[in-house]
Structure 1
Amino acid sequence: MIRLATHSDLDRIMVIVNEVIKEMHVRGSQQWSTDYPKRADFIQDINKRELYVYEQAGEVAGMCAFSETGHAEYSLIPFSTTNALTIKRLAISPRYRNKGISHQFIEAIKRVADEKNKQAINGDTFKNNPDAQAFFLKHDFCFIAERPDDEGDVPLYYYELTLK
């Protein structure tokens, strides 16, 4: 079941974040680290009512922010519209992978986007994060652009799913 996250979910969310960081680093992606995402990012998402969790048998198995605000550089990206929701901080515990949870998050964000009269869903990932790239392509997002990140490290890839 997907529901809005609450502050009582934060400890479990951070466990998932740490699991995912370890996996990313093993695969060569530094997209997440001890610097990002932080507990404060999730607190802000919860306070804005933009963080959703997938719960199974009373345990949070994953989370995803459906944000009304894109990242600062989004104005530089040739998305088809600015009237979009942005996927941020999607993560699923390794114990719950390959059970269709990411698909359920996509269906949920589509419903939220429809309720908010959004025309698209967008997101981004690092060039060296092929799992995230595959996620976007699997769910019919189109690759929009590549851009260096602000720190000049690994380039970012930007994706968009047009809804209307």
Structure 2
Amino acid sequence: MIRIASIQNLPDINSMVQDSIKLMNERGNYQWDSTYPLPTHYEEDFNKHELYVYEKGRSIVAAVTVSEDEHSEYPEISWSKTAKAITIKRLVVSPHVRGEGIADTLFKFAEQVALEKYLYYIKTDTFSKNSSAQKLFARFNYNFVEKRYVEEKNDSILYYEKFL
């Protein structure tokens, strides 16, 4: 079940993030680390009512932010449109339940949220070494927009969009 997050969910989300950082880093993907995402990012998302959790039984096993606010560099990206969009951010799935289709369910949910808000444009991004996210974007027919190198990460961010 997907629902809006409660304040009590933040420790579980932060724990999932730490587990995911460890797994990502072990696989050579340093997109997430001790500087991002921080608990304060999820707290801000919660305060804006943009943070959603996926419950399996009585456990929180995933979270996603579905926001009308873009990342700070988005205005510099060569998007196809200048229209207002939904941005999917900070998707985290517990390593213990990966491969069960939860990320797909959250992406479908984000598209539903966009449609309910009469926004027919979605933006998102990931790093080049995050093959799982890239496969997710491909499954949902997101179009690649641009690649930007991030020196401090020694990697590139890949930007994607989709029109509903």
- 2:112 matched to 1:111? yes
Percent identity (aligned): 38
Which structure 2 residues correspond to residues 1-164 of structure 1 after superposition, within 5 A?
Answer: 1-81=1-81, 82-149=83-150, 151=152, 153-163=154-164
Would you say the 8 A contact 2:30–2:153 is kept in 1? no
Separation in structure 2 between the aligned mates of residue 100 and residue 122 of structure 1, nearest angstrom: 21
Which shows bigger deviation, 105-114 or 44-53?
105-114
Post-superposition shift, 1:102? 1.1
Would you say the 8 A contact 2:31–2:153 is kept in 1? no
Amino acid at match of 2:4: L
Amino acid at match of 1:114: L
Post-superposition shift, 1:30? 0.8
Separation in structure 2 between the aligned mates of residue 11 and residue 99 of structure 1, nearest angstrom: 23
Structure 1 stretches of 4+ with a deviation exceeding 6 A read none
Separation in structure 1 between the aligned mates of residue 25 and residue 14 of structure 2, nearest angstrom: 16
Separation in structure 1 between the aligned mates of residue 58 and residue 162 of structure 2, nearest angstrom: 31
CA separation of 1:43 and 1:95: change in aligned 2, threshold 3 A: same
Amino acid at match of 2:111: K
Question: Residue 62 of structure 1 aligns to a residue in which SS?
Answer: strand
Post-superposition shift, 1:85? 0.6
**In the comparison of the two structures, how many residue pairs are matched?**
163
Separation in structure 1 between the aligned mates of residue 18 and residue 88 of structure 2, nearest angstrom: 19
Separation in structure 2 between the aligned mates of residue 115 and residue 89 of structure 1, nearest angstrom: 21
- Root-mean-square deviation (CA, aligned residues, Å) is 1.3
Structure 1, unmatched stretches of 5+, are none
Separation in structure 1 between the aligned mates of residue 88 and residue 8 of structure 2, nearest angstrom: 22
Question: Residue 10 of structure 1 aligns to a residue in which SS?
Answer: helix
- TM-score normalised by length of structure 1: 0.94
Separation in structure 2 between the aligned mates of residue 66 and residue 102 of structure 1, nearest angstrom: 13
